[in-house]
Structure formats: structure tokens, C-alpha cells
Amino acid sequence: MDAGTQLGRSQEVGIKIGLILRKRAEHGLQQYTERVRDALGAGDGGPSRVPVLSAGVDPLGAWQYLVDAGQRSVLFWDTLRQRGNDFVEHTMHGLEPVLHFDSEMVLDGRAFERPVNYAMLRIKPPAGVVIDPAKRPYIVIDPRAGHGPGIGGFKDDSQVGVALRAGHPVYFVIFFRDPERGQTMLDVCAAEQRFVRKVRQLHPESPKPAIVGNCQGGWAAMMISASAPEDTGPVVINGAPMSYWGGAWSEGEGDNPMRYSGGMLGGTWLASLMADLGNGKFDGAWLVQNFENLNPANSLWDKYYHLYANVDTEPPRFLEFEHWWGGYYLMNREEIEWITKNLFVGNKLWTGDVKSASGNAFDLREIKSPIILFASMGDNITPPQQAFNWVADLYGSTDEIKARGQVIVGLMHESVGHLGIFVSGKVAKKEHTQIVSVLQTIERLPPGLYAMRINERRGEDGKVEYEVDFCERRLEEVAERFNRFQRVDEKPFEAVEEISDFNQRAYELFAQPTVQAMSNEWSALTLRMFHPLRVHHWAISDLNPWLAWLGPAAKAVQTRRKPVDAAQPLRQIEDIGSRMLSAGLDLYRALRDATIEASFFSVYANMFSMYVADKHAAEVKRPPAAEPRELPYVKDALAAIGQGAYPEAFARIGALLTRRGEPLPLSRLVALDALAHDYGEYLPKVAPDAMRRIRGEQEIITRYEPEQALLSLPSLVPDPGERMRLLTLLDKLMADPRIQAGQPSGDQQATLARIRTVLGARALERRTEPAATK
């Protein structure tokens, strides 16, 4: 590339970055202004309500407020002291899982041939809950991203609680604070595969276990299912980052800044440095600090002010959450390097470049069971693009999904944050409860890509009820909706990967030997204990002799507590001040993130355009987009239009009779499951995953060649007995009240009549009449 072209590209990149930066800043300032006006009650240019509130302050009210504020201050700091004491005790006991439910150990990975710090527990049902061993077991895998396990069963209204109340056996994969010497992520994956096989042994008569993965546990669940598809059932991944380069890049709204961290820090070398300073162990507190930095308003102010303002009722909830949030776990250097190189920076999970312990690549297309992806538009840690883009990267088209017999269901929440996906009681009661109900019959879904919708309605008793339906989507449309700019913003991450590899090699060559020689177990422990997140826990605890007075003072305050009403003028002024401070911190975040984004693209977009783009174009010469009929899977399916047997004929008739363009209610899947049980003798004797693949191929045939698909049916069932068996099934189904309740459309009835004619129903009936008479 000549210098003039390079300068032209750089200028174009700079103009775009400047425009986006300006719009980001304008958006942040606009939100700040609106929040300040709302706090002051000065919407639409009206006067502030602070002078009015100040005028309503009298000496007695001021004295009462000061007493209340002083009492709340003592109780607030005492709550932090209790948090510190809990942190110290929790740490001394090895940071036990925060599961709400009783459990028993089933397998302990520390005793395996390749030991890992993972184990599998069986969750004991609470009183009044009856478990059916024949129902599909659930295996819940929590994230190992700095914190400890248990968030999936953190409270009664949780993923574990929902599955237990539905009568399913539940198993929980936990991990201990300290990794085993030499363990790798591949060792962990092998151990989790062993956990799955154990569950299958314990429940031989039940369907294959459902694998539920939260955040980092989501890609772990996908790796298990890809490497052992014969053992795993449906996979549910909640807020799981599968495509790390993706993000919500738009002209007005804020971006998701965490995806820029790797580039702004120079790649993976920093994780290796921190692991070397930790004497071979990476401190998860650094990951947690990254999470906290995403929302400084909440980390520095909002959650503490909420505790202070509601100190009479809030401490139990605050302490319960902080018990989990303040527990920091460790990883081996090999583990964090594998994660950063292959996932955070390399983004290699979906490409097939990641190898298993046996040397085989993890090919996510090998997963045979349905997959449910649950994400949220309000999640800035795992935005929907990171949760869904891998599907577009892995499958070339919707037809490939169908041809492979895969079912992928997407469920989107509009606003909940990352942690809310796992810990919110409302999410558990609605989304996770409906996911459990869906998993009972999800294998009846025809292959394809679906949007799962949960519709609320009021029952006759006035209580809220939920109805689930599935809307089929085209992969191409979904990818375009989530990625307004055709994912051009992901190209600079290729430059990040190359710079990261260079920096990693430089660190390993020039600095790593010295760092490792200087580190030992004592220095690593000292660094961990003086990490800022740990310090602000143990420094406000009974370990601090300067706080010996705080506990007795808090008890005295509680006996003489005199709270004032929240409507008191000074309390309202206090709330206004808090909201304005929070708005200011959010403005800081908006400007910080906009600056980071602009800096990232200024460096790496230019680097990509100047040095990597030509190399990339030379290595990856993509053919022009083919017409749908020219796609390999479509051509293969159409070439086999006259080939097959009873299973293909059954699937083709089902595809011909499908109502297209209409939502598929969950109730219809439940009815299909019941019909399959009642008329099992007429159904093909084929494994569910194989049947879904056949159904996908037949759907492609009926979509592109509906007439030929109908006329070629006799070639699939040339045997009169098989043909009669198929027609008998159709007659029984059409006479069944459950089918009639669905009110078959005129098109369906006309298609059914043509199917009967093509298969020679009348001729077959005449042939069988003499036998019936005899």
C-alpha cells in the first residue's frame, strides 16, 4: 500500500472516530443534564425544588434529621464492619460456595488422575419438594471469573430453585479457591465431561442432562457439549460471552468498553505478569476490579448510599450479596493465559482453533442438542452481540442450521444487567422458570433459529401468568439487526491479536525470567492481601483496633433509633444530592468510555488499515455471496429430493403441513409431545438428533421445491404397508381432538388432501378392504 493511500485511510478513520466521540460526549452530557433536572425537580425548565424544601426546614426538623443521620452513619459503618468480619471468616474457611441449598458431594476432581479444583454436588430438595429421578437432570456450571461458585443457587428463587420445584434432579459444579498444581482449562473440561457421564449413570432412565452455564460457565458448557455430544442434552447459556470482539457499536448510545481492555493494556502479557507476581497464580480480584470499574457510580456511591438511606432494612440483603461478591478465587497461570489468548483476545472458540485434551478441535457444530441463549440488552459485560454473533460466524446460513438438525433459541431481556441474569428473583420467576418448562419439550422443535417470547397475561384469579411462543428467524436478519455496521468495528481486534502476540513473546523473553525469580509464596500472599478490594474489607472489621467502639455503639443506637420520614425536607435534599453525585459519576464514566473507545480505534483501526488489512485480504478471499439455492447444504438437500425412506417421508409431510410465518406456542409443543407418546407405534424409530437433521433437510426441500417435494413422496415409501402406516397416522392425527382444537387451516387441509392423493390413499384402502372383510 502506498503512502498516499495509507494517509487517506487514516484521515477517513480519524474523521469517523471524531464524529463518534463527539456524539458519545453529547449523549453523556444530555443524560447528565436530564438526570440533574429530574433530581432538582426542574424538568421542562421549571424552578428547582431545593429552595422550597429549604424553606420548609424548621429547627426541630433539622435536629431530628441530624439525629437520624448520625444514627444511620453508625449503623452504616457497623454494617461494613460486619461485612469485613464475614470476609475474614469466609477467607479463613477457604471461601466455601454460597449455595442456598443443602448438598452432598458426588465427585471430587481433586482426586482425579489429573486433579482439578472442581467438584460436583447433588442438591438436596428442600422440605415439601419432591424430585422425580426419571425427569431430565440439570447440571449447573457457575462462572469462574474472579468470584466463587453458588450464584446459580444463591437464593430460593434461582436457577436451582426453579428446577427443583419442577421436580428435576439438580447437580451443581463448584470449584475451590486454590487451583491444583499444574491444572489447565483442558483438564477442567475433561473433569466436567466426567461429571456429565456420572449424572447419566445415576439417571439411566431419564433424558440426557441439561447443561446450564452462567457467563464463563456458558462457554465451558458449550465445550463440554461439543466434545461429548453423545452425553449431553439441551444447553442453556446465560450471559455467556462467546464472541468476544462483538459489542453494541452505534452512533448515539454508549458502547461496551470492556471489549477494549485487551487492546488498551497491550494484550495478554499483563495477565501473565500478574500471575508471575502471584508465584504462578492469578488473583481473581483483578477480574472483579474490572467489573467494578465498569460502573463507578454504583461501585463508589450508589450501593453504599442505598445502604445508608435504608439502613434499617437493607443490611441483610447487602451482606448476603457482599458475601459472594467479596470472595476472590485464584487461577493457575496456564489457565488465565489460555483464557486470555484463546478467548479474550484471540476470540477462537467458535473458529475450531481451540484444541481439547485429546488434540481434537472444539467444533461447536458437533453439538446435537438444542441450545438456548439468554442475554440482555442492559448487559455491558456480555452484550447481546457477544452472546449471539458466534452463531452467524459458525453457520453460513439459516439453511445450514436446518441441514445440521440444530435448534437454537434466543431469549432477550430488555434491561437487566449482567448479574441480574443470574441473581434477580424476578428473572428467576419469569425467564428461568419458562426456560425449565421449555426444556421439557424443546426437542420437538423443528430445526432452525428461534426467538423465544414470554407473554404476560392475567389469569382468572388476577395473578400474572406467562405464555411462551417461538418465532422463527432468519440468521441473516438477526445478524444484521444486532450489528448495524456489518461488524466492521471488529476488524481492529485482529490488529490487537497480533500486537498481543508480539508483546507476549517480548515479555516471556525479556521480563518473565526475572519476575519469576523475584516471586515467592510470601510475596504473592502479601500482594493478594493488600489488593485494594481486599483491603477495604478487612480494614473495616474487628481486625482494626481503632473500630473497637463501633459494635457497642451500633447496639446502643439500635435501642434508641429514631428514624425520620423519607418525605422530611432534609431527607429529600439529601436524596437530591445523592442523585446528582451519581449522575456526575455516570457522566465521568460516559466521557471516560468515549475516550477509551476513541483511543482504541485511533490506534488499532489505523494499524489494521495500514498493516493488517492487506494481509487479511490476501489470506481470506471470501467468495461473493451465493444465491440461497446455490449454497452447498441447499444443493445437497435438493439433490436427494427422491431419496429416503419412512423417516424422510414423515418429516417431509410435517414440513409441508407446517404453518409458516406464525408463532409456535409452547402449548403446541406440549401437545406434540403427548401425541408422540400416544401414537409412538407409527413414528420413525430414529434418535431425536438424527430426526431433527432429517427434518431440517426436508424443510429445505419443501421451501425451495414444494411441488416436487409433494410429488416425489411415493418414492420415499414405495412399500404399500409403510405407505398405509403413514396414512393411518395422518388419519388418526386429523381425528384427534387435540389437533382439531388447533383448527387446521384451509391450506393445511388442502395440502393434506393432495398428500393422500399422491400416496394413493383410495387405492390402498380398496386393496385392504377384502382383508378387512374376511
Instruction: Provide the pLDDT confidence category of residue 611 given band limits of 50, 70 and 90.
Output: low
DSSP classification of residue 443 = G
d(CA 143, CA 148): 8
Tens digit of each residue's pLDDT (9 = 90 or more) over 35-47: 999 999 866 666 7
Instruction: Judge whether 647 and 717 are in contact, CB under 8 Å.
Output: no
C-alpha cell at 627: 444465491
Tens digit of each residue's pLDDT (9 = 90 or more) over 157-184: 889 999 999 999 999 999 999 999 999 9
Instruction: Provide the pLDDT confidence category of residue 478 given band limits of 50, 70 and 90.
Output: confident
Among 48-52, 197-201, 689-693, 752-756, name the most confident range.
197-201
- In the chain, what are the helix, strand and coil shares in percent, each to the nearest 5? 60, 10, 30
Query: Residue 624: is its pLDDT beyond 60?
Result: no
Looking up cell 437487566 gives: 416
DSSP count for the chain of H helices, then E strands: 36, 13
pLDDT at 765: 61
Q: Is 620 helix (H, G, I), strand (E, B) or coil?
A: coil
Query: Residue 66: is its pLDDT beyond 90?
Result: yes
| One-letter identity of residue 727 | L
* 431 backbone φψ class: left, alpha, beta (φ>0; ψ -120 to 50): alpha
Query: Residue 773: is its pLDDT beyond 60?
Result: no
The pairing of strands 371-376 and 407-413 is parallel
Instruction: Provide the pLDDT confidence category of residue 774 given band limits of 50, 70 and 90.
Output: very low
Beta bridge partners of residue 173, listed in sequence order: 120, 141
Task: Spell out the residues 6+ positions from residue 567 whose beta carbon is closer than 8 angstroms to its own.
Answer: none
Beta bridge partners of residue 451, listed in sequence order: 410, 471
C-alpha cell at 64: 431530628
Mean of pLDDT values over 745-750: 89
d(CA 571, CA 236): 45
Q: Between residues 331 and 414, which one has the greater pLDDT?
A: 331
Q: What percent of the chain has pLDDT over 70?
A: 93
pLDDT at 533: 96
Q: What residue spans of 530-568 are helical by DSSP H?
A: 532-538, 550-559
Tens digit of each residue's pLDDT (9 = 90 or more) over 331-374: 999 999 999 999 889 888 777 777 776 677 788 888 989 999 99
Mean of pLDDT values over 561-585: 94
Instruction: Judge whether 402 and 696 are in contact, CB under 8 Å.
Output: yes
pLDDT at 691: 93
C-alpha cell at 146: 474472579
Tens digit of each residue's pLDDT (9 = 90 or more) over 324-333: 999 999 999 9
Q: What percent of the chain has pLDDT over 90?
A: 63
